C-alpha cells in the first residue's frame, strides 16, 4: 500500500507525463503546419511515448492500492520561433521532468518505499536517453542555422524515427 504522500507525488508525475504528451502534440501541430513532416513525426512519436510513461504511473499507482487522479492540463504554447526554439523547449522540458523523477526517487528513499524506488529506476535511465536525444537535435539545428537544405536534411532524418 502506498503512503498518501507517495501516492500524491506519483499522481503529480503521472499528470506531468500526460502534460508532456500534450506539449509535444502541440509541437507536432506546429511542424505539420510548416510542412516539416519529419519533425512532426518525431513529435508524434514523442507524444506516444509520454502517454505510455503516464500510463506506467497510472498502472503502478493502481498496483500499489492507490487511485490515479487525473488533473487539469493547461494549454501548451501553440507556436515557436523556429525548429531550434521548439527543440530547445523540448530539452528544457525534459530537464524539468528529470528533476521531477529524481525528487520522487529521493522521496521513495526517505520513506523506505523500495518498490517505488525500483519502479522509478526505469524512468531514471529513460530520462538520460530523453535528454540526450533532445540535445542531439538542438546541437544539429544550431549547426544548420538558417540553411534551408540543412533543415530539409534533418527533417528527413527525424522522419526515420522508430518508436
Ligand atoms: Fe516522460 Fe519525456 O519524460
Confidence (pLDDT) at 78: 98
Q: Which residues does ligand 1 sit against, CB inside 6 Å? A: 17, 20, 50, 53, 94, 97, 130
The per-residue pLDDT for range 45-55, each reduced to its tens digit, is 999 999 999 99
Residue nearest to atom 1 of ligand 1 (CA): 50
Domain ranges of the chain: 4-70+81-158
What is the Cα–Cα distance from 41 to 131, expressed in whole angstroms?
Answer: 18
Report CA(30)–ligand 1 centroid distance (Å): 20
Residue 35: left if φ>0, alpha if ψ -120 to 50, beta else—which one?
left
**CB atoms near residue 117 (< 10 Å):** 17
| CB-CB contact of 123 with 53 (8 Å) | yes
Give me the CATH code for the 4-70+81-158 domain, please. Answer: 1.20.1260.10
The per-residue pLDDT for range 67-115, each reduced to its tens digit, is 999 999 999 999 999 999 999 999 999 999 999 999 999 999 999 999 9
Residue that the C-alpha cell 527543440 belongs to: 87
pTM (2 d.p.): 0.95
Confidence (pLDDT) at 163: 76
Report CA(96)–ligand 1 centroid distance (Å): 9
Q: Mean pLDDT in the chain?
A: 97
Average pLDDT over residues 9-28: 98
Distance in Å from the first CA to the final CA of the chain: 33
Specify the DSSP element, H or E, that contains 75: none
Amino acid at each position: 500500500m502506498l503512503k498518501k504522500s507517495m501516492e500524491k507525488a506519483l499522481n503529480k508525475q503521472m499528470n506531468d507525463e500526460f502534460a508532456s504528451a500534450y506539449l509535444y502534440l502541440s509541437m507536432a501541430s506546429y511542424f505539420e503546419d510548416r510542412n516539416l513532416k519529419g519533425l512532426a513525426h518525431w513529435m508524434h512519436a514523442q507524444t506516444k511515448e509520454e502517454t505510455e510513461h503516464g500510463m506506467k504511473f497510472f498502472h503502478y499507482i493502481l498496483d500499489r492500492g492507490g487511485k490515479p487522479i487525473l488533473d487539469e492540463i493547461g494549454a501548451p504554447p501553440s507556436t515557436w520561433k523556429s525548429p531550434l526554439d521548439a527543440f530547445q523547449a523540448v530539452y528544457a522540458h525534459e530537464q524539468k521532468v528529470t528533476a521531477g523523477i529524481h525528487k520522487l526517487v529521493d522521496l521513495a528513499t526517505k520513506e523506505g518505499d523500495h518498490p517505488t524506488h525500483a519502479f522509478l529506476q526505469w524512468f531514471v535511465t529513460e530520462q538520460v536517453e530523453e535528454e540526450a536525444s533532445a540535445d542531439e537535435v538542438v546541437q544539429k539545428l544550431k549547426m544548420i542555422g538558417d540553411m534551408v537544405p540543412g533543415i530539409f536534411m534533418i527533417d528527413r532524418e527525424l522522419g526515420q524515427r522508430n518508436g
